[in-house]
Chain A
Amino acid sequence: SQKIEQNSEALNIQEGKTATLTCNYTNYSPAYLQWYRQDPGRGPVFLLLIRENEKEKRKERLKVTFDTTLKQSLFHITASQPADSATYLCALDKDTGGFKTIFGAGTRLFVKA
């Protein structure tokens, strides 16, 4: 069955450093992959989408890479700030025409001032 894996351990980094989060998937060939941010008690907020034919995507301080050979995506936040502290979710769409999105468990990021 399709599986999405994210590092379940929290990531603690110092303000100003680059945070790197990993998403691996198996038994799957997604057309695109998405990253969301979720704050406690809130719904996910869309950040970036990267397609299978794209190696890298950037948006302000965010950068996403997508390696379909390794079946892996990396999510980078440069010049991290305490306000970046949240859970980051990797998501893939089931390519069934129904566009159902399935999520990884997320990685909790803590940025210390």
Chain B
Amino acid sequence: GAVVSQHPSWVICKSGTSVKIECRSLDFQATTMFWYRQFPKQSLMLMATSNEGSKATYEQGVEKDKFLINHASLTLSTLTVTSAHPEDSSFYICSARGYIRGSNEQFFGPGTRLTVL
């Protein structure tokens, strides 16, 4: 099946620094990529939707200047958490949607655990 990778798988940073997380679709071109955040024992919360070459669409309550999303190509999207604070510590998951075998399917990455000290 299609594979979506994320890098890094975990990161620990100091408060005030910025962290970049990459999401790649490895064997298909993703027309749309999504970024989710998940707190312990809670559901995945959609943060934003990004299409290649255009600005991301953010969900209500998500600060676009805090969570910068760049969808540079059909296989790569990045999420940058700027000036990270301890409350940004969470599990960030990306997903990629594209046409595979004639069907528009969605695949999720393995997630990135961010810990802000």
Measured CB to CB, the residues of A under 8 A from B are 36, 41-46, 89, 98-106
Cα distance A101–B93 in the bound complex, in angstroms: 13
Given contacts A43-B93, A44-B93, A89-B44, whether A101 and B110 have CB atoms under 8 Å apart is no
Which of A36, A43, A101 lies in contact with B109, CB distance below 8 A?
A43
Query: Is B28 an interface residue, CB under 8 A from the partner?
Result: no
Segment at the interface with A among B61-69, B81-89, B100-108: B100-108
Measured CB to CB, the residues of B under 8 A from A are 4, 6, 32, 34, 42-44, 46, 49, 57, 91, 93, 95, 97, 104-111, 113
Whether A43 pairs with B43 at a CB distance below 8 angstroms is no
CB nearest to B57 among chain A residues: A98
**Which chain B residues border A104 with CB–CB below 8 Å?**
43
Whether B111 pairs with A100 at a CB distance below 8 angstroms is no
Whether A99 pairs with B108 at a CB distance below 8 angstroms is no
Whether A43 pairs with B108 at a CB distance below 8 angstroms is yes
Assuming A99-B32, A101-B95, A104-B43, what are 20 further A-B pairs, CB within 8 angstroms?
A41-B111, A41-B113, A42-B111, A43-B4, A43-B95, A43-B109, A43-B110, A44-B108, A45-B108, A89-B44, A98-B49, A98-B57, A99-B97, A99-B106, A100-B34, A101-B46, A103-B43, A105-B42, A105-B43, A106-B43
Whether B111 pairs with A46 at a CB distance below 8 angstroms is no
**Which chain A residues border B95 with CB–CB below 8 Å?**
43, 101
Cα distance A6–B6 in the bound complex, in angstroms: 28
Which of B42, B46, B109 lies in contact with A102, CB distance below 8 A?
B46
CB nearest to A36 among chain B residues: B108
**Which chain A residues border B97 with CB–CB below 8 Å?**
99
Whether B43 pairs with A101 at a CB distance below 8 angstroms is no
Whether B49 pairs with A46 at a CB distance below 8 angstroms is no
CB nearest to B103 among chain A residues: A49
Quote the shortest CB–CB distance from A58 to chain B (angstroms). Answer: 19
Given contacts A43-B93, A43-B109, A46-B107, whether A100 and B46 have CB atoms under 8 Å apart is yes
